[in-house]
Amino acid sequence: MALRLNRAPARHDAPALPLDTILIGDCVAELEKLPSASVDLIFADPPYNLQLQGDLRRPDQSLVDAVDDSWDQFESFQAYDAFTRAWLMAVRRVLKPTGTMWVIGSYHNIFRVGTVLQDLGYWVLNDVVWRKTNPMPNFRGRRFTNAHETLIWAAKSADAKGYTFNYEALKAGNEDLQPRSDWLIPICSGGERLKGDDGKKVHPTQKPEALLARVLLSSSKPGDVVLDPFFGSGTTGAVAKRLGRHFIGVERDRDYAAAARARIDAVEPEAADAIVQAPAKREAPRVAFATLVERGLVRPGAKLVDARRRYEATVRADGTLAFGSVIGSIHRIGALAQGADACNGWSFWHVEDARGLTSIDAFRDAVRAEGV
Amino acid sequence: MALRLNRAPARHDAPALPLDTILIGDCVAELEKLPSASVDLIFADPPYNLQLQGDLRRPDQSLVDAVDDSWDQFESFQAYDAFTRAWLMAVRRVLKPTGTMWVIGSYHNIFRVGTVLQDLGYWVLNDVVWRKTNPMPNFRGRRFTNAHETLIWAAKSADAKGYTFNYEALKAGNEDLQPRSDWLIPICSGGERLKGDDGKKVHPTQKPEALLARVLLSSSKPGDVVLDPFFGSGTTGAVAKRLGRHFIGVERDRDYAAAARARIDAVEPEAADAIVQAPAKREAPRVAFATLVERGLVRPGAKLVDARRRYEATVRADGTLAFGSVIGSIHRIGALAQGADACNGWSFWHVEDARGLTSIDAFRDAVRAEGV
DNA sequence: CCGTATTCTGAATCTCCTG
DNA sequence: ACAGGAGATTCAGAATACG
């Protein structure tokens, strides 16, 4: 039995569609009550099936607050696939033929999700990468920092035409460059992060509003109906309301649903003419020395010297420097050579050729000039 | 029947492994001839199963040279999955227990590949995003510009330990920041792109050498054996040779194999000092704290303190520490002092003298410099 | 009150050798 | 195989504390 947390007025033109409502219950069961082909956009943030083992501690021994909630536990890949198949079928029935769907996930689950949705006849339009400016580091140094999550954007079927893609607006909001499949957005923190009375986060995986804004602005129109079958803390609803879209959320957990309802009630819709794309965060123009080597601007085996040619180091293929038997970054080796505590390797080291000394900083500028 | 394009001298220590060789034939059949658990790293760039529908034209009506080769055509997802399963099983047998595998793909195939490899027992370590500085634009304006491809980095099994990850060198080459899962690398073009006598590209999906360099530098050591079951234009082989790794390539198409062979023969390996393995701290020879006491670097009876002088312990002649009435290793006592359950005593404890605090790790470095 | 320093935290599949 | 212990390991940003 679903309990509805509804604040929307009754609508006579679409009586069966519980607009701007959070349906409390299992999403497959709740979606069966909705009419077919009735929503314009789906955003789904399903459980990731993280399969965490033991505790993880930071180098300072503090404990990482893991996502160990029961809703993220599955017995096997098979069980996860069955779950995935069920909800993907349920939302597909409700999706208009011209509608599209977004799903977000990590490497733990996204391959399963992508495979199942292809098998069900969805047609992938893009995979989009959410690059995090501030991901949690890899504390043990045994893998690459997991600095992104993946979104799949899919149409209802291969022959679906007429889906919404606000190409011109996106391009205009992106310095007249085509919108790309890699998005740089910070994680949800600070004032945006919902906290309980105890000061603890309400939901372990709250998504940033900037991410949802990019989704809704790119693939929906004002007045469209956006369905989120894993509503959680209600980011989809909050952004939908702010941007003049309707939402339907489904959430099993009453506490999450209540927090989401309160959050959404506090949202002020933006004036229609103010609804434009949030400006993209400027890309940090950070260039690593390894990039110069990779791009062939500095050759492995080349000798670097300081401005007065007192010290010499050898460039290695991995973008480190060798100074005697010591290997390290341009900064650390620069400091070591001088006997200093710290050194800006970019200004310290130079390449010598027929024309004389060239600062490696000049090569970095060349990389930046090419658009990083 | 496989025809080998071999330029490597015979090796008596590994007679069954055709090092630095391109095996011509189907990869599953060819891999059956190789011994089990014999290669250190796999890089695979399988067909993407692109499912192109009709010609793609640019706004000026010029035709885009699409990947429509017969090797990229599969009748169904089912056929593609069967193909994927077959080659993933074949390479897994050949992979050492400590080895890892990279697979690259796009949204057309990467979900299938990821699902199958998880089902086969591979353990995903990371998914890595290759962001292209210069992707092909989306000419229709109906999707996001496909500006990235996805790589999956996986170990042979969930319990596989001891795989190679050159964390410290990668960090040093990246402004002393740990390496992330998003890589920015230009596509292969210009002089690097192999062209035939007719000026046309030899292979439709030639990968940039910078991408392979990052793969090999991060997850292999000099002298390792790298297997590429879809050798194509031989980028893996060219980079392996340049960086002092051995390669084994498998390629069905004789023309591709011949072009790859010629390309690799022209490669000059980097100088040894540009590619020797950087010593990692965790691989440095172990030094017992007792050795420091034995060698007179730390005096029995000396007081050790933490960096903020909050705790104090006494050095004993046998290399243990006394903290109140408790006696134990530098690590145990460090943990006890802080009330933590673990502690790296080497970085925690310091000796105080007229010049201030000196970490006992500095004395350990001195011992190592003397040759343990 | 302000500027600086410290602390806290985030969708995380996070070690390896010896006995 | 399993237990125990040595010893390795973090970045950005916000919040809080301090001087």
pLDDT greater at residue B145 or residue B352: B145
- Give the bridge partners for B353, in sequence order: B356
pLDDT of residue A265: 98
| CA-to-C1' span, A156 to D5 (A) | 56
**Contact status, residue A228 vs residue A237, Cβ threshold 8 Å:** yes
- How many CB atoms are closer than 10 A to CB A275? 17
Q: Is A312 exposed, middle or buried (0-12, 13-18, 19+ CB in 10 A)?
A: middle
DSSP A180: B
Could you tell me the pLDDT band of residue B72, with boundaries at 50, 70 and 90? Answer: low
Q: Are strands A303-305 and A350-353 parallel, antiparallel or unpaired?
A: antiparallel
H/E stretch holding A149: strand A148-155
Phi-psi category of residue B365: left, alpha or beta, with phi > 0 → left and psi -120 to 50 → alpha: alpha
Is the minimum CB–CB distance between B338 and chain A shorter than 8 Å?
A: yes
Angle A77-94/A110-119 helices, nearest 10 degrees? 50
pLDDT of residue A298: 97
DSSP A50: -
Buried b (16+ CB within 10 A) or exposed e, B206-242: bbbbbbbbbbbbbbbbeebbbbbbbbbbbbbbbbbbb
pLDDT greater at residue B65 or residue B5: B65
Contacts of residue B362, defined as CB under 8 A and 6 or more positions apart, other chains included, come to none
- What are the Cα distances from residue B326, in Å, to B102, B322, B323, B347? 49, 6, 5, 20
Could you tell me the pLDDT band of residue B45, with boundaries at 50, 70 and 90? Answer: very high
| Angle value at C-alpha B58, between B53 and B64, nearest 5 degrees | 55
Question: Average pLDDT, stretch A295-324?
Answer: 97
Half-sphere exposure of A14 (CA within 13 A, CB side): 16
Tell me, yes or no, if the pTM score tops 0.85. Answer: yes
Question: Average pLDDT, stretch B2-28?
Answer: 71
Q: Is the CB of B285 under 7 A from strand C?
A: no
- What are the Cα distances from residue A327, in Å, to A306, A337, A339, B165? 17, 12, 15, 16
Is the minimum CB–CB distance between B76 and chain A shorter than 8 Å?
A: no
Could you tell me the pLDDT band of residue B11, with boundaries at 50, 70 and 90? Answer: very low
**What residue in B sits closest to A166 (Cα-Cα)?**
B142
| CA-to-C1' span, B307 to D19 (A) | 22
DSSP string, A69-107: -GGG--S-HHHHHHHHHHHHHHHHHHEEEEEEEEEEE-T
Counting every residue, how long is chain A?
372
The C-alpha atoms of residue A251 and residue B372 are separated, in whole angstroms, by 61
pLDDT of residue A254: 98
Question: Average pLDDT, stretch A333-354?
Answer: 95
pLDDT of residue B312: 92
SS3 category, A108: coil
Could you tell me the pLDDT band of residue A279, with boundaries at 50, 70 and 90? Answer: low
Q: Is the CB of B342 under 7 A from strand D?
A: yes
- Give the bridge partners for B184, in sequence order: B131
| Closest CB to A148 among B129, B152, B168 | B129
Cβ–Cβ gap A115/B118 under 8 Å: no
How much is the mean pLDDT over chain A?
93
Could you tell me the pLDDT band of residue A113, with boundaries at 50, 70 and 90? Answer: very high
Half-sphere exposure of B78 (CA within 13 A, CB side): 2
pLDDT of residue B303: 94
pLDDT of residue A108: 98
Least reliable range by pLDDT among A203-217, B217-231, B350-364: B350-364
pLDDT of residue B10: 45
**Contact status, residue B208 vs residue A296, Cβ threshold 8 Å:** no
Could you tell me the pLDDT band of residue B74, with boundaries at 50, 70 and 90? Answer: confident
- The dihedrals phi and psi of B326, each to the nearest 5 degrees, come to -95, 140
Helices (runs of H) and strands (runs of E) counted in chain B: 12, 15
pLDDT of residue B15: 47
Could you tell me the pLDDT band of residue B12, with boundaries at 50, 70 and 90? Answer: very low
Is the minimum CB–CB distance between B165 and chain A shorter than 8 Å?
A: yes
Is the minimum CB–CB distance between B186 and chain A shorter than 8 Å?
A: yes
DSSP B339: T
What does the pLDDT look like over B82-117, one tens digit per residue? Answer: 999 999 999 999 999 999 999 999 999 999 999 999
How much is the mean pLDDT over chain B?
92
Instruction: State the alpha helices, DSSP H only, in A15-76.
Output: 27-31
**Contact status, residue B351 vs residue B298, Cβ threshold 8 Å:** yes
Chain A and chain B share a number of CB contacts under 8 A equal to 206
pLDDT of residue B62: 75
SS3 category, A184: strand
pLDDT exceeds cutoff 50 at A371: yes
DSSP string, B190-210: GGGS-B-TTSSBS-TTPPPHH
Least reliable range by pLDDT among A29-38, A221-230, B334-343: B334-343
Could you tell me the pLDDT band of residue A1, with boundaries at 50, 70 and 90? Answer: very low
**Can you tell me which residue has the tokens 């067909």?**
B47
- Give the bridge partners for B227, in sequence order: B42, B248
DSSP string, B205-271: TPPPHHHHHHHHHHH--TT-EEEESS-TT-HHHHHHHHTT-EEEEEES-HHHHHHHHHHHHTPPPPP
Nearest by Cα to A136 from A213, A73, A194, A67: A67
E-strand ranges in chain B read: 3-6, 21-24, 39-44, 95-105, 123-132, 148-155, 182-185, 225-228, 246-251, 303-305, 312-315, 321-323, 326-328, 350-353, 356-359
The percent of residues in chain B predicted with pLDDT above 90, rounded, is 81
Name chain A contacts of B235, Cβ cutoff 8 Å: none
Least reliable range by pLDDT among A19-28, B46-55, B211-220, B280-289: B46-55
- The dihedrals phi and psi of B152, each to the nearest 5 degrees, come to -110, 130
pLDDT of residue B178: 98
pLDDT of residue B214: 98
**Contact status, residue A182 vs residue B129, Cβ threshold 8 Å:** yes
pLDDT of residue B17: 94
Could you tell me the pLDDT band of residue A271, with boundaries at 50, 70 and 90? Answer: confident
Could you tell me the pLDDT band of residue B56, with boundaries at 50, 70 and 90? Answer: low
Cβ–Cβ gap B147/A57 under 8 Å: no
pLDDT exceeds cutoff 70 at B172: yes
Is the minimum CB–CB distance between B320 and chain A shorter than 8 Å?
A: no
- What are the Cα distances from residue A363, in Å, to A289, B192, B209, B291? 9, 20, 20, 47
pLDDT greater at residue B57 or residue B194: B194
pLDDT of residue B29: 97
pLDDT of residue B1: 41
The C-alpha atoms of residue B70 and residue A370 are separated, in whole angstroms, by 36
The C-alpha atoms of residue B86 and residue A365 are separated, in whole angstroms, by 47
pLDDT greater at residue A54 or residue A230: A230
The percent of residues in chain B predicted with pLDDT above 70, rounded, is 92
Question: Average pLDDT, stretch B131-140?
Answer: 94
Could you tell me the pLDDT band of residue A367, with boundaries at 50, 70 and 90? Answer: very high
pLDDT of residue A14: 46
Q: Which residue type is seen at B118?
A: Q
Least reliable range by pLDDT among A68-72, B62-66, B221-225, B352-356: B62-66
